[in-house]
A and B are shown apart, each in its own frame.
Chain A
Amino acid sequence: MIEEPELAPESFSAVNAMVEAVEVHKSYGRLDVLKGISLKVMPRDVMCLIGPSGSGKSTFLRCINHLEKINAGRLSVDGELVGYRERGGRLHELHEKEVARQRTEIGMVFQRFNLFPHMTALENIIEAPVRVKGEAKDQARQHANELLEKVGLSDKATAYPNQLSGGQQQRVAIARALAMRPKLMLFDEPTSALDPELVGDVLAVMRQLADDGMTMIVVTHEMGFAREVGDSLIFMDDGIVVESGNPREVLANPRHERTRLFLSKVL
């Protein structure tokens, strides 16, 4: 069992959004990648982000845990601005230490897994709880073993990443993110680098996680997953939100021509 995400005391009212973006802009030099993204993700919701490559969906995801800095707008997680603090009507950049503290509460899973290759699966999972949160090693190990069992890999604790298949690596990566007991999980195309027959195992773990009530934002090309697991669906193109709504409705009856065009190519 994965524990219920621990809600911070100030968010006792369940109507507060877990993630709130208001007019988020991001540019690299003169290239505008995000041109005003506004959206809300409620606690325990699963939001799927779809769109053609280059549409800015991965960039937006990376802004949520401040791997990318936004240039304009406001982005907050659980009521707290990401990467900044507002004081006296001005934004102040947060110190590295505080950004790191914010990130401990946001789990992230990458397309290319990014497991630490010189550590076993178990060492990968306990690294951050022990070194960042100062958890006792025994306790962290026990939690790690529970998580490995949860993702169906309890026999792989001592395996190094390159002794595992892509699907197994991605499940270890999910366990590694969960070990920090995050209140939000970000998935950046978690199945795009996998062989087709391995995708199902990873999606099953994510579905289980959603059923357990984790708040999730998933950038994906798996329309089936979006339809069955997602509470909301966002279609992004060229740095803006083109269409959003209930996944079943959007996928069945897209209102916009661009959405229709995209879906006709991927479905």
Chain B
Amino acid sequence: MTEQEVEAPARPEAIRAVPVRHPGRWVAVAVIAVLVAMLAHNLAVNTRWQGWVINQYLFNNSVLHGVLATLWLTVVAMAVGVVGGIVLAVMRLSDNPVVSSSAWVYIWFFRGTPVLVQLIFWFNIGALFPTLSLGLPFGPGFHTWSTNSLITPFLASVLGLGLNEAAYMSEIVRAGILSVDEGQTEAASALGMRRLLIMRRVVLPQAMRVIIPPTGNETISMLKTTSLVSFTGGFELLVSVQRIYNANYKIIPLLVVASIWYLLVTSILTVGQYYLERYFARGSARQLPPTPPQKLLAFYQRYVRATRRQRPVIPESTAGGGL
């Protein structure tokens, strides 16, 4: 405020109103507390949960193998899905009508049939094509393989899950690309950039902000969808616990073991997604909010400062503590 200017009027006393009461909240607290207590009681008393079995198998070797197989299958199938999705999305946005309608037909087919059916199909592909050969179209083959030896259960799982995922991912990527302002493409073209370069350097990095949240969803969904291959001869976490409970009949505890692992991995993926979103949010917000660890650190530092200040001068209030 410069000299000569009108001074701001004195600030009136801060409002200290009686807050609205929320009796409904207390009812909700009571109901939920009772339910939680019942669950805790059941867990403690009901020996059929067989907590010791859970303990025994949580880090069992074949369970861990199952976890690794699930992770590996998720990663590879998602990689196929993301790459395929980007290619299909770019194809659908192409000016070439043959290319864009081929992508449309692909998406129509793979979204329109159940993924379990597709998985079973890939596991039985040998029935349709007993041999696969590399050669000229309609011409002689240079080398021929037996389909069953080439399409292993793992490869069949990857094909079934990945090709299906590509159809879904392509719509997510397309939405992301369409969300980027056309002015961006124009400005880049005016600078002499060509289509693929514009896509890679200008459009996709901005589209990522729209693409990542649903892709996180898809990854978490994929992690659990991999359990479908237990129906078709693949190997993953659910298969490994099934093998154990088929031998010892401890079905519930082993399903709990599997669920704990699914939950753990999902939680890790959620954290990964959070940081990935922050990375691609650069330039979009004036200041990014602090991450949870940063918040914790700031809270701790404030606490330390407040206690230090309090020790020597005892009666002074904790100004700026703001818990």
Contact = CB atoms under 8 A, between A and B. Distances in A.
A233 to B, nearest CB: 24
B83 interface: no
Nearest to B195: A96
B contact patch SS? helix
B184 interface: yes
A225 interface: no
Interface residues of A, number: 33
A108 B283 contact: no
Contacts of B284: 117-118, 162
A103 B192 contact: yes
Contacts of A128: 188, 191-193
Interface string B90-106: 00000000000000000
A221 interface: no
A106 B190 CA distance: 7
Interface in A76-134: 96-97, 100-101, 103-104, 106-108, 110, 112, 114-120, 127-128, 131-133
A106 B201 CA distance: 21
A67 interface: yes
A100 B286 contact: no
A101 B192 contact: yes
Contact of B283 (A103, A114, A160, A180): A160
A143 interface: no
A131 B197 CA distance: 8
B202 A116 contact: yes
A103 B190 CA distance: 6
B190 A108 contact: yes
B206 interface: yes
A141 interface: no
Contact of B189 (A100, A112, A161): A100
B192 A110 contact: no
Contact of B192 (A132, A162, A173): A132
A168 interface: no
A65 interface: yes
B216 interface: no
Contact of A67 (B186, B194, B205): B186
A101 B201 CA distance: 18
Chain B, interface residues (CB within 8 Å), range = 20 to 34
Interface string A169-180: 000010011001
Nearest to B182: A114
Contacts of B23: none
B195, B280, B282: most-surrounded residue (chain A CB, <10 A)? B282
A165 interface: no
Contact of B184 (A67, A116, A133, A173): A116
B181 to A, nearest CB: 8
Nearest to B206: A118
A55 to B, nearest CB: 20
B194 A96 contact: yes
Nearest to A123: B283
A163 interface: yes
A67, A100, A108: most-surrounded residue (chain B CB, <10 A)? A100
B187 interface: yes
A177 B201 CA distance: 17
B193 to A, nearest CB: 6
B286 A163 contact: yes
Given A103-B191, A132-B191, A160 B282 contact: yes
22 contacts: A65-B190, A67-B190, A97-B194, A100-B192, A103-B189, A103-B191, A112-B183, A114-B184, A114-B186, A116-B187, A116-B206, A117-B283, A118-B205, A118-B282, A118-B284, A127-B191, A127-B193, A128-B192, A132-B192, A160-B283, A173-B187, A180-B191
Interface of A: 65, 67, 96-97, 100-101, 103-104, 106-108, 110, 112, 114-120, 127-128, 131-133, 160-163, 173, 176-177, 180
Given A114-B186, A114-B187, A127-B191, 19 more contacts: A67-B186, A96-B194, A97-B194, A100-B194, A106-B190, A108-B190, A110-B186, A114-B183, A115-B187, A117-B206, A117-B283, A117-B284, A118-B205, A118-B282, A128-B188, A132-B191, A162-B286, A176-B191, A177-B191
Task: List the 8 shortest-distance A-B pairs measured between CB atoms, nearest first.
Answer: A104-B192, A114-B187, A160-B283, A128-B191, A108-B190, A114-B183, A103-B192, A118-B283
Interface of B: 181, 183-184, 186-195, 197, 201-202, 205-206, 280, 282-286
